[in-house]
Structure 1
Amino acid sequence: MSSEEMQNQVDELVAGSISELLVKKEDFMIFRTIWLSHPQKNQIVGEAKLRGETIYRLVPTEN
């Protein structure tokens, strides 16, 4: 997956267009680079799955 495609998916996750984002092992470093620079990175939480896959979801902050 390209960096642009991953950025689009992260943007969709934050916007609520998608409820979860599946990141495969081979795409993790691309995701990590985008995630580290994202202003809402603390709300994007991952759940590890089998074979190095991780599902990321947006967790709303408590007010």
Structure 2
Amino acid sequence: MEKYENMIKQLQNGEINSVEIEKEQFYEFREVLVKHPLFKHVRGEAKQNGRVIYTYQEIPRS
């Protein structure tokens, strides 16, 4: 779970542009993400085969 926290922190800091999560990791990542204070700043885009690409947005969604 700590690796997912680090991924979110890296997104926020601009160290990485996006995080790609495979369908096998989705529920673990989502569990960490929804509890994170930056949850509304992270945008997920579904791709084929259950992959999701997450990016950081400066302006939180409503």
What CA distance in whole angstroms lies between the structure 2 residues aligned with 1:4 and 1:40? 15
Question: Which one of 38, 47, 50 corresponds to residue 49 of structure 1?
Answer: 47
The answer to whether residue 15 in structure 2 is matched with residue 17 in structure 1 is yes
Gaps of 5+ in 1: none
Q: 4+ runs of 1 displaced by more than 2 Å?
A: none
Task: Let me know the Cα RMSD of the aligned residues.
Answer: 1.3
The structure where helix makes up a greater share of residues is: 1
CA shift for structure 1 position 4: 2.1
The answer to whether residue 31 in structure 2 is matched with residue 33 in structure 1 is yes
What CA distance in whole angstroms lies between the structure 2 residues aligned with 1:21 and 1:33? 15
Q: How many residues align?
A: 60
The AA in structure 1 aligned to 2:28 is I
Gaps of 5+ in 2: none
